[in-house]
């Protein structure tokens, strides 16, 4: 794979496509022959290269392969993002591959025969059994301002119908201004604790408190509006990062999914809960569904901890060859500067 991109660097010619109207199959455009020859170089187009300006079915298949490898919506519509990805030069791709090979050197030698891998840069969770990816699931990761860190840990328990303890910065930055206007803004779904003791929302003069003077903890009760949805997967760690459901399903429709405060939101959390819990002695699919339906906060300890690895891979091996993702957090740039002695600003 590295050889393919190194060879393209040596050959030195890389078609410049240029932005223009979005292209869909059947359209004719002078950029089409350039796209065909570029996708022939990357190995996505495997037929005879012609100079026809018509976007035909063979090119559509190649475009969808390319889009799938670059984490783009793979429907064959060539828009701005596809052109941007096509115009990344081979020497940049070689650099990207090299940086990600360096990252793999930092990983534990043994990831676990059965483990969960979350690629933050690809917004994807993989369940891996005996080196085979048995499931791929879309996830939402931390926004650029609240980035998800890279680390390895172990999943120890699953919480059904979880409560959500509001982080201090959200409580003081987002909720406190609303409470000053209306002390019972959150009473329907949240409990408030003062110095650890349950108290009532109306008994507090919220104007008297602020960041630095805030003896309160806000906890959201289980329910349909709970920020963690119906299930969370706990791998206790110093970063306070975990995997969870979410009531905000619309975010999974985006191809770039860096939206959260740092934790990992799962697109199919109930499925993952069944996969992990159904075979535990004393549990079954029916019991799990019944507990979820009851709304009762329930903790399920895992008899065998599951290794979980949070990685940041912008180049990795996929089903159709090497896959690339944008450097959403700018970590490739920092790593390159660290390795090759450039200022890391």
How far apart are alpha carbons 225 and 228 in whole angstroms?
Answer: 9
DSSP 336: H
Given the residues 244, 261, 274, 309, the one annotated as active site: 244
The yes-or-no answer on residue 70 being catalytic is no
Are 332 and 102 in contact, with CB atoms under 8 Å apart? no
Q: Whats the size of the chain, residue-wise?
A: 345
Q: Give the number of other CB atoms < 10 A from CB of residue 206.
A: 18
Given the residues 70, 263, 274, 309, the one annotated as active site: 263
Q: Give the number of other CB atoms < 10 A from CB of residue 254.
A: 13
The yes-or-no answer on residue 309 being catalytic is no
Q: Give the number of other CB atoms < 10 A from CB of residue 298.
A: 16
What is the bridge-based pairing of β-strands 216-220 and 190-194?
antiparallel
How far apart are alpha carbons 189 and 169 in whole angstroms?
Answer: 19
User: What are the backbone angles phi and psi of residue 343, rounded to the nearest 5°?
Assistant: -60, 140
**Catalytic residue positions, numbered:** 244, 263
């Amino acid at each position: 794979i590295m050889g393919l991109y190194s060879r393209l660097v040596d050959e030195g010619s890389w078609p410049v496509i240029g932005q223009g109207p979005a292209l869909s199959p059947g359209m004719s455009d002078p950029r089409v022959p350039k796209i065909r020859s570029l996708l022939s170089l990357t190995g996505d187009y495997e037929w005879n290269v012609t100079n026809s300006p018509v976007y035909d079915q063979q090119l559509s298949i190649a475009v969808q392969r390319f889009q799938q490898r670059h984490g783009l919506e793979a429907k064959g519509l060539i828009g701005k993002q596809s052109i941007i990805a096509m115009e990344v030069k081979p020497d940049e791709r070689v650099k990207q591959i090299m940086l990600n090979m360096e990252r793999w050197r930092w990983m534990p030698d043994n990831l676990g025969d059965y483990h969960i891998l979350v690629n933050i840069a690809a917004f994807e969770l993989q369940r891996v059994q005996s080196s085979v990816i048995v499931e791929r699931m879309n996830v939402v990761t931390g926004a650029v301002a609240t980035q998800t860190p890279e680390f390895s840990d172990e999943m120890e328990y699953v919480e059904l119908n979880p409560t959500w303890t509001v982080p201090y910065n959200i409580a003081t930055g987002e909720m406190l201004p609303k409470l000053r206007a209306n002390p019972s803004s959150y009473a329907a779904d949240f409990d408030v604790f003062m110095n650890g003791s349950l108290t009532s929302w109306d008994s507090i003069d919220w104007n008297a408190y602020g960041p630095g003077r805030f003896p309160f903890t806000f906890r959201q009760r289980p329910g349909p509006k709970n920020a963690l949805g119906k299930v969370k997967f706990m791998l206790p760690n110093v970063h306070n990062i975990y995997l969870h459901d979410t009531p905000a399903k619309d975010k999974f429709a985006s191809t770039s999914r860096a939206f959260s405060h740092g934790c990992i939101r799962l697109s199919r959390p109930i499925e993952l809960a069944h996969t992990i819990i159904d075979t535990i002695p004393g549990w079954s699919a029916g019991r799990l569904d019944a507990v979820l339906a009851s709304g009762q906060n329930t903790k399920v300890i895992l008899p065998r901890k599951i290794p979980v690895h949070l990685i940041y891979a912008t180049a990795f091996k996929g089903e159709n060859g090497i896959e690339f993702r944008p450097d959403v957090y700018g970590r490739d740039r920092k790593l390159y500067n660290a390795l090759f002695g450039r200022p890391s600003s």
